Amino acid sequence: MRSAERARLAPSVHNTQPWRFRLHDNLFDIFRDPVRQMRVIDPAGRQLMISCGCAVFNARSALAAADHQAVLLDVADQPDLVVRIAVGEAADWLPIGSLDGWISHRRSNRREYFGDPVPPELSYTLVQAVEAEGARLLELASPNDRALVSRLTKQAEAELLLNPAYRAEIRAWTTDDPRRPDGVQAMSVPRVAGEATDELPIRDFDSRGVGWLPSRTRSSANQCLFLLSSVEDEPASWLGAGQALERAWLEATRHGYAVSLFTQAIEHPIYRQRLRSLLTLSDYPQLVLRVGRAPATPPSRRRDLARLLLD
């Protein structure tokens, strides 16, 4: 049960929480919830599977904290079941168990980041964490690479905003209702007032003009940026990328650093291909991470576990 409790705290695309859980016979099943898939932003379900991968990692971390190995079983023949976790033999120590205590502290932080650099030791830790999960993390150390990501993100954001269906989908998953247990909260997004000049734009969530954060976040191409990628580009790789993302995110949290994600250029097929080509990547880009220090931000709301459990 504790694994399910920790899994529900995972990050997800626009806090859609696109998962359901089932506990039975000492097994923990995680299902994708297609009802919660964002059809405009995520028509292939890539971000949905990355979200589910984050939940899988939290469950693994919770088991490791109890000195148990998580065994992932094959579920290829069951629709919507993304992973079945069995409790393996007891282990004296598993490194991911130390991350379990940071799950409730992890945040998506869209506030203004401070200017102090990320130390090389942390960058190395994050790269190693991602590689341990079978994905890759590239630090965008070159000014040209950072400028490229910034430019493509701005272009993709501008083009997405021209699509009424996109704006409607963002509006549907942004809320100022204190009773709503999902969606992106107005208190955690910048207010859109026509004065933001950020080099790397935070997504425009504020379709109703209710964002609580300052419109200018000073999100800059000169800040510490990473590109997370996978060798393949299919559902199993997306699930693995989600596990890699959450492992790195929890490591950053443990070291006192904030993380925010940029996916606009990756959501748009044309800009995603340009990003891959211009960075001369053999892998497939999955998302961009900004890492740094920032003021604390409140946690996203979550649905009660009882509403997530299947019989």
pLDDT at 194: 45
pLDDT confidence band for 198 (50 / 70 / 90): low
pLDDT confidence band for 94 (50 / 70 / 90): confident
What residues pair up with 258 in beta bridges, in sequence order?
A: 292
How far is residue 131's CA from residue 114's CA, in Å, rounded to a whole number?
28
pLDDT at 191: 54
Indicate whether 247 pLDDT > 70: yes
pLDDT in tens, 164-180: 999 999 889 988 888 99
How far is residue 8's CA from residue 3's CA, in Å, rounded to a whole number?
9
- First-to-last C-alpha distance (Å) of the chain: 14
Q: Tell me the range of 22-26, 146-150, 154-158, 245-249 where mean pLDDT is highest.
A: 245-249
pLDDT confidence band for 279 (50 / 70 / 90): very high
Selection from 184, 229, 224 nearest residue 204 by Cα: 184
C-beta atoms surrounding 26 within 10 Å: 8
Domains and CATH numbers, the chain: 2-106 (3.40.109.10), 120-292 (3.40.109.10)
pLDDT in tens, 106-152: 999 888 888 888 999 999 999 999 999 999 999 999 999 999 999 99
Q: Read off the pTM.
A: 0.92
Report the chain's mean pLDDT, rounded to a whole number: 89
Picking from 31-40, 55-64, 195-204, 286-295, which range would have the lowest pLDDT averaged per residue? 195-204
Percent of the chain whose pLDDT exceeds 90: 73
pLDDT at 112: 84
pLDDT at 192: 55
Indicate whether 211 pLDDT > 70: no
How far is residue 199's CA from residue 220's CA, in Å, rounded to a whole number?
5
What is the phi/psi pair of residue 117, to 5°?
-75, 155
Indicate whether 307 pLDDT > 50: yes
